[in-house]
A and B are shown apart, each in its own frame.
Chain A
Amino acid sequence: MTSVADRLRDLETIVGPANLLTATEAVSQYRVDGQQPLGVVLPATAEQVAAVLALASQTGLSVLPRGAGRHMHLGAVPGPIGLVVSLARLSRIVDFDYENLTITAQAGTTLAAVQQAAAERGQMLSLDPPGGDEATIGGIAATNLAGPLRMRYGAPRDLVIGVRAALSDGTLIKAGGKTVKNVAGYELTKLLVGSFGTLAAITEVTVRLAPVPEATAMLAAALPLDRIRAIARELAASRLEIASLTACDALSLRRARLSPMLRASPESRWLLIGLVGDRSAVDRQERDARAAIGDGCLRLDADDATRAWRGLREVAYPSVESETIARVSLPVSETVALMEAIARWEGWWALGRIEQGIVHAGAPPGESVEKVMGKLRELRGLAESTGGILVLEAASPEAKRGFPVWGDSPNLDLMRKLKESYDPAGTLGCGRYLVGL
């Protein structure tokens, strides 16, 4: 076994001394759940990524791939981290094929850069995950995170049509391609999207784009939860193609920075209705939604609407370290009932993406770890009783150690075999995914 110093020297020859960080101060910026990596490598090419992974595998260094570091709070507390492999320098847009509504970008390209390029042709990448536009395209693919636009446009799983990736043995592979329809071979793209960098390090992503809609709008109405449920049911079953139906309590409005613009009383919640389409479609959606809601429906002005879209997007992003936030996926029909249950908990906030069947909920700051874990167990029980699941998206390392972040996975044996097959040395991911993957 070579010494750590020797191994790091070999890395230096791959990426150059300037792109290997080992000084405590520099490396501490890359801590995950308090764990400090031995070093941080910043390769410039896919080939360098592959070489770094191969060296790490051969020498027994574990690797955590990283984009802009916007979602490192997700996942279980990692085991010892050998290297953080930052993909930030792989930030080139490889091919913007606007006529075919696709863009191919290296993994470290920020969402902002993708959006800026697409906007020049009146297009956009219709993904709005929490964590802002500084998140990278590779990170978004690896986490499969989406936001309020999901029901209208899909999640990364739907929009990523091709990837290139480095396996931990140093092999570079491609999967998928540039066409929406592609059934030539197995869908490794699907396998890698949402795998949190535990099977391979994604080095390049091809995604579908959409035309920027002619109009968007945000309607808002303060209503009791049972009315919200009835209206949401009516609108979701209609042919209006409404983009998002969100129920917010007073605390989640504050988190989304929408209060005092919208004021929630203890017995009522706000229903926010996001509309997307051409002008005539959005006008019609507004008309029908107002008819369903009755009095008291506001259409936010342009600035407020922009703030509302952003707020609904960022509400589930932890604003301070060690904040506790859970995501529950459950049947659409159970979304509001779960919010009612959480409303009885002192200090907890909840926001329901009703159209998706997703509730984000968070504990009050300063709550003891024991108390938080008790409530999380209760919440998971409620979710599972409806056929749903709970993932703990953010929490202190202490809480994460005491509570299974991902919950049960019924096919863990298969997933372990996949992991062993693609990453036999167990180099990638440092055990943050599921149970030790």
Chain B
Amino acid sequence: MVDRKLVRALQRAVGRQNVLTEPADVLLYSYDSSTTVGKPEAVVFPGSTDEVAKVVKVCADRATPFVPRGAGTNLSGGSVPLRGGVVIALSRLNRVLEIDRENQRAVVQPSVVNLDLQKTLAEYGMQFCPDPASQKVSTLGGNVAENAGGPHCLKYGVTVNHVLGLTVVLPNGEVRQFGGKVLDTPGYDLVGAFIGSEGTLGVVTEMVLALRPLPEDAQIVLGIFETLEAAGETVSRIIAAGMMPAAMEIMDRQTIAAVEASFPSGLPLDVEAVLLIELDGLKESLDRQAEQCAQICRELKARSVQIGRTQAERDKLWAARKSAFGATARLSPAMLVNDATVPRTKLPEVLRHIQEIERRHGIRIAKIFHAGDGNLHSNILYDRNDPQDFARAEAATAEIFKVCVEAGGTLTGEHGVGAEKVKFMRLLYSPEDIEAQRKLKLVFDPKGIANPGKILPEPVTAEVAPQ
């Protein structure tokens, strides 16, 4: 039942034409790229920070939940309105407001698509370092909400390392500026606390980004290995040799098969691992480093090693990796994605466990990992229409999380907790840790209306507290 008073208040805030309430319309905003669904009462399209503030104020006055939404590429249910309420679709806030070349800053609205900004910056020889795999579609606001990563984090860090300021609408409708263009504004790091908060502390409506000059050049080394262990050991030796590649990516046999079935690029099907190493920096360093990486690959008995020096060669070597996610998704009717992250050297041990989980449940798991930073994407293939298959996939997911946490890792490296990992948070955190996190949430959102049901599990009551 649509709340007429709510709808009228929203229409006053953003204009009648920017509010959707028809079931068929709002249905499009009931899901994201995860398996979670919810049903919004209304979807609004504010055109300014001020309008976002008005919408949030309407929600606050009525204690109506709201969920900010960018491109909806979220992989953990973060942009799904679990408890109904209002979806604040930020698609109209899609402008680059300023590119300040000398100070290496950009000011952008949240719905600027990551890759669009990169293309604009490239014209000036600059970049915004975070480049998640979804960058063709995902928005910078979403990147900030998730503290997005991508393949280049070992060398360049994650989103929070490259954002200096935020304009946010708090859950009571107030507009605030956190941080700014200069370094070290005094006070608690509200920018850092807000990044990765998945829309549960408020709505980001503007961002100040730190930019960097693009690297002068890059080279790719691609090694093909008979075992995952050999590929992992290669990564270890590269780091031990004092090199800091921009990216190191591993694909397993399942993923290679998926890629070759959909986008043939000539990879052999009878090997266990492909390791892609991207080196960037000054031309002078790259030849030697690439040769050194290739040598390490050969020492670890790589079946073949290729070096890509030109842009065309590099693009060709990256192509398989970049198509891996889409290709894997084509293998089965659905795919349960997770991105648990472990200290990199634990990968071989964790992989053995995952292979065992695969066998025990009789399921297929395609594995791609950012080997440099230990971020493991184990994509579980299943059939959405087969409840038993889904149950198996879910059970396997839970077991993978347990294995990764026991190996000193974490539940999620870049996809967020969202709705789907809430139930696993207690694997990682003690009740005290969770309550310390809840203090932050309550300072920003005492009424609990900002993206409710996400990130934190409900408090444990005394009677059911686990011993």
Contacts and interface: CB of A to CB of B under 8 A. Distances in A.
B405 to A, nearest CB: 9
Interface in B142-191: 146-147, 149, 153-154, 157-158, 160-161, 176-178, 180-190
B213 interface: yes
Interface in B352-408: 370, 373-375, 408
Q: Among A187, A195, A280, which residue has the most Cβ atoms of chain B within 10 A? A: A187
Given A179-B342, A183-B146, A414-B443, A357 B188 contact: no
Given A180-B374, A183-B196, A212-B242, 16 more contacts: A154-B161, A155-B184, A175-B437, A179-B409, A181-B373, A181-B413, A183-B417, A185-B456, A187-B193, A195-B188, A238-B213, A239-B214, A278-B289, A389-B185, A406-B186, A410-B176
Contacts of B192: 157, 187, 190-191, 193
5 contacts: A155-B183, A174-B429, A179-B374, A182-B413, A185-B434
A305 interface: no
B196 A187 contact: yes
B264 interface: no
A177 B433 CA distance: 12
Nearest to B176: A411
A236 B104 contact: yes
B344 A158 contact: no
A101 to B, nearest CB: 7
Given A154-B161, A281-B285, A414-B176, A186 B216 contact: no
Given A188-B437, A410-B177, A240 B282 contact: yes
A387 B165 CA distance: 13
B460 interface: no
Contacts of A100: 343-345, 374
A199 B188 contact: yes
A193 B430 CA distance: 21
A171 B193 contact: no
B47 to A, nearest CB: 25
A339 B444 CA distance: 40
A181 B414 contact: yes
B147 A187 contact: yes
Contacts of A358: 183-184
B197 interface: yes
A319 B228 CA distance: 55
Contacts of A281: 281-282, 284-285
A173 interface: yes
B215 interface: yes
B122 interface: no
A411 B410 contact: no
B308 to A, nearest CB: 20
A405 to B, nearest CB: 9
A227 interface: no
